[in-house]
Amino acid sequence: MHLRNTTISGNTARSTLAGTGGISQVGYAQLNNVTIVNNTGAGNSAVGNRGGGIQTSSGRVTVLKNRIIAGNDGGGGPNDCDGPLSPESAYNLIGDRNGCGIPSGMEHTFRLNLDPQLNALNNNGGPTQTHLPTAKSPVLNAGFPSTSTSTPSMDDCELRDQRGVPRLGCGACDIGAVEVTRADFAVAGFVLVNAVTDQDIRPLRHGDTVVLSDVVPELSVRAVMMGSPDGVIFGYDGNPSVHEDIGAPFSLGGDVAGNYAQAPIAEGHHTLSATPFKVDGMDKIGGGSQVIDFTVLNTRGAADKWEIGRIEIEKPADNLILTAPTIPKLIVSAKHYSDLKVSLKEGTSTETDATDRMVSLGSDRWTTDLNVPIGMHRVTAGAVLSCGIAPAARSG
């Protein structure tokens, strides 16, 4: 198990013998810049001896670096840490060291029996909630003291924190999942905007589909910010800096005093990124970025290109008990498909590719004869698209 830039908070495990609220580690684990706080091992007993934060196993590898384990409740067992840590573990804060095997020779790098002084779990920017250290937190600048700005060592903090905010490239970073820096701002999300009325329409999330006929064709996208950057660099469909917007509101198409300009949002698949920054002399200090993919369709009918069309069996009667020379036909309706593939399984035969047998009927319909002998048969037909397998079938 590898965890980086992760917050594990507010979990409860209810078991007498295995109630570890945070992580129960019985194999290999390497955790860097992870925050494990406020977890509860409910029902733990002194016999069970499981930690509220993390429980490790003797003889297993558990490497902890630049991480916080504090404020957990182990019930009858240790609160924060139960079991030995591997010799490579260093630069960690552990709120209650009782039950935790600190590696010999590395204890001087640990901060033990301290309150990390974190704020409550909240939206501090980025896609997930985090615990932001307070101004007097002992985790500030207490991580591995890197001396390199380009080639990280095996002990270094992650290059960015959980929110995407850059960590210091040279010097000691903050222990835990969140870095407090001058670039303490990040993109919290995106909103679809009507560029005619300048009104928000709805949030735009990763994986969304936007149907232009349901909204308006004149659209823009606004980046929702945590903090107050000077500007945002937008990337779009392979161009990492298609637009740089200075001053809020920050939008893909730009604006003049909140009067949004239309962005290049057309039918198709799109990738959108936004990176906030502050100007520091001749430099730009980057904050937490966010990237999403979304799809735009002109009309709801156009969604057929992402869904299976109708599959039917054309037959002369209500069943498929046929006498020679009548031959049933398979008809596939697949409007807008760019790469239609059809496979057939006739009776108990092996499934075969029937794409080359399909003959166009016009109006996005194709047909082929079903090569079955006289008698009762079960025929299953499916369509396979270039964008995936569509589980639609018709049997007769």
pLDDT score of 167: 77
**Angstrom distance (rounded) from CA 147 to CA 8:** 29
Identify the sign of the CA torsion 349, 353, 357, 358: positive
Of the three residues 145, 161, 181, the one that is the final residue of a domain is 181
In whole angstroms, give the CA distance from residue 120 to residue 270. 35
Of 259, 281, 301, which residue is a domain's last? 301
Structural tokens at position 97: 């060291």
Q: Which residue range is the domain that position 323 belongs to?
A: 307-395
Burial 196-234 (b: 16+ CB within 10 A, else e): eebeebeebeeeeebbbeeeeebbbbbbbbbbebbbbbb
**197 and 49, same domain (yes or no):** no
> Alpha-carbon distance 21 to 44, whole Å?
10
Same domain membership, residue 244 and residue 216? yes
Is there a single domain that holds both residue 238 and residue 289?
Answer: yes
245 and 120 in a single domain? The answer is no
Question: Quick one: the chain helix, strand, coil %, rounded to 5?
Answer: 5, 45, 50
Question: Do 374 and 295 fall into the same domain?
Answer: no
**So what's the pLDDT on residue 324?**
41
Q: Are residues 112 and 239 in the same domain?
A: no
CATH code, 195: 2.60.40
CA distances from 374 to 72, 281, 324, 354 (A): 72, 84, 7, 21
Whether the CB-CB separation of 144 and 66 falls below 8 Å is answered with yes
Tokens of 200: 């928000």
Contact 60, 26 (CB under 8 A): yes
Closest C-alpha to 138, from 95, 74, 184, 185: 95
* Same domain flag for 199 and 281: yes
The 10s digit of each residue's pLDDT in 57-91 is: 776 778 889 999 999 988 777 889 888 888 889 99
Q: What pLDDT, on a 0 to 100 scale, did the predictor assign at position 308?
A: 33
Cα–Cα distance, 32 to 146 (Å, whole number):
14
Contact yes or no for 234/244 (Cβ under 8 A) = yes
Residues with Cβ within 8 Å of residue 168, at least 6 apart in sequence: 146, 179, 181
39 in the same domain as 165: yes
Locus of tokens 């960015």: 160
Residue 334's pLDDT is what? 55
Point out the residues of the chain with pLDDT beneath 50: 148-153, 302-326, 335-338, 374-396
Please indicate, yes or no, whether residues 53 and 146 belong to a single structural domain of this protein. yes
Domain boundary (279, 301, 323) is at: 301
* Number of domains the chain contains: 3
Residues 373, 246 share a domain? no
Question: 3-state DSSP call for residue 196?
Answer: coil
Calpha distance 310→355 (Å, rounded): 16
Dist. CA 233–CA 230, nearest whole Å: 10
Q: Are residues 120 and 221 in the same domain?
A: no
Residue with tokens 């709801």: 300
Q: What is the pTM of this model?
A: 0.56
Q: If you count them, how many residues does the chain have? A: 396
d(CA 68, CA 11): 16
Residue 169 sits in the same domain as residue 250: no
